[in-house]
Every structure is written in C-alpha cells, then in structure tokens.
Structure 1
Amino acid sequence: MIFQMKENGFETELEYGKLTISGNEAHGFRPYQLMVSAVAVCSGGVLRKILEKQRMPIRDMTVEANVTRNPEQANKITDIHLHYTITGDELNEAKVHKAMELAQKHCPMAQTIIDSVTLTETVTLTK
C-alpha cells in the first residue's frame, strides 16, 4: 500500500476504492477508527464462520465496539470491548461463548493487539 500525503491527511487507492485517513474526522477516517474497525469486523467474521461450521446458522449480527483511550499516553487505545448481538434460531449460549473464545484466538487483528490492548467480549442472543 502506498499512502499519499494530502492537505488534511493521507490517501491510498485500494481494490475497493479510495481510502482517506486524517486525524480530523471531517476529512477522513481517523487511524484509531480503522484499527478498532479492523478488530471488530475481523472478530465478527471469524465468529460467524465458526458458528456456521458448528451448525448454528445466524440471520443477523451486529458488533458494537466501545473504546477506551489514555490521553496521557498519546491517546493510546487501552481497551476495546466488543458486544455482539446475534440473531438465530439454533443458538446455544454456552457454545456461542466457546465460539467467541475460539474466534479471538483465530482472528489475526485480535492477535495483533492482544499483548497491548485489553480485548473483552460479550454477547446477547435473540431469536
């Protein structure tokens, strides 16, 4: 990837389109938003695959990411809490929790940050 400096940030051209990144969200995605998005979507995607392999098909999933940053350490991300809301008919709560643990171990983005950011997860199951 090549990032080109612009007046208010940087841009890169990817297969899907242009990505604009800026410290000012009026001009693009903020770097911390991209990092948190990568962790949330990677974790959710891996969890979905695991649930499907375990024959627990889902109709819908949302992932809410809550972030804690430390302003005394350059606004470092210290905690990410992911809350999944999963809708499906054949969901077993105990198996979903085990699938969440497995997903965290197999999500490359989660594994990238796990030694420096506290990552916690919770779930609400609906029919």
Structure 2
Amino acid sequence: MATHKISTTWKGNMQFESSNPGGSLQIDVAEDLGGNSNGLRPKALMLSALAGCSGLDVASLIKKMRLEVSDFNIETEGFLTDTEPAVYEKVIVSYNFSGNNLNEEKLAHAVDLSVEKYCGVMHMFRSFAEIEIKINFNK
C-alpha cells in the first residue's frame, strides 16, 4: 500500500511549515484571525490539491493526445457551509483552454477522464461536496 508522510512544524504564532516530497510551503491565517498572512490557508490548499491533481491528469492527456493548447488553467471556487466547522458543500471547477487550434471534443474528453476516472482528490471531494464542472475554450 502506498503512503504519503507529511511533516508540519509550528513556526510560532499561527504559522506552520509543511514539508512534502516535492518541497515545502508556509501555512498561516489572516491577521483578523490572529495570524500574519504569511502563508497559504488550509481549506484553500484543498482546492489547490484538487486543481493540481486534475490538472496533472489533463496535462498528461494533452501530451498523449498531441493536442495543441497554448494556455491552460483551472479555477476552483469552494462554497463553505454556514455551520461550524465550516466545510465545503459545493465546489465549481472551471477548466480554461486557450489556443488557435483547439480540439474541443478531445479536450472535453480529457477533462472527463480526469474527473470520472483518474483524479483521486476529485473522488475524495465527492464524498462531502457537490462538484460542478465547467469547460471554457478561448480561441
């Protein structure tokens, strides 16, 4: 069974440094919550993990399908519950492709493969949130 081990160290006040096999990052909260705004927010990191997981899948499929894409980005928007603890109840994931010769059908298929089959983070999110997928093509 594969495992991931992350080391997270308190750096004082509300700041932590979290090390992962690919590097490290700073975690903190906003000043109005007692932090110094010197790091990423934990819940927002979950959205980054979702976009990163699916983005890696789609980028791999763009390469395998030999598709022409000049720019590709993913925007995620998470909607939190009003109850404590606040958790994501809905997430909108927007895939944005730019290029002069986009194959929209194949790109949509690549997104679908990531969303439905490959992205483990997407599957984890589905256990607690409604997921809405949008695909935008800009020529």
| From 2, 6, 22, the counterpart of 2:7 | 2
**Matched-pair contact (CA < 8 Å) for 2:68–2:101:** yes
**Matched-pair contact (CA < 8 Å) for 1:46–1:103:** yes
Gaps of 5+ in 2: 1-5
Q: Does 1:77 align with 2:88?
A: yes
In 1, distance between residues paired with 2:98 and 2:118? Answer: 22
Gaps of 5+ in 1: none
The aligned counterpart of 2:124 is 112
Q: Which amino acid aligns with 1:112?
A: M
In 2, distance between residues paired with 1:101 and 1:17? Answer: 29
CA drift of 1:68 comes to 0.6
Which structure has more RCO (C-alpha within 8 Å, separation ≥ 6)?
A: 1
More divergent stretch after superposition (96-105 vs 4-13): 4-13
TM-score, normalization by structure 1: 0.84
SS in 1 for 2:7: coil
Cα RMSD, aligned residues only = 2.0
In 2, distance between residues paired with 1:13 and 1:38? Answer: 15
In 2, distance between residues paired with 1:99 and 1:13? Answer: 31
TM-score, normalization by structure 2: 0.78
In 2, distance between residues paired with 1:75 and 1:84? Answer: 26
Q: Which amino acid aligns with 2:65?
A: Q
Post-superposition CA distance 1:3-32 (Å, at most 9, x none): 122211322344655422123371321111
In 2, distance between residues paired with 1:16 and 1:96? Answer: 28
Q: When the two structures are aligned, how many residues end up with a matched partner? A: 127
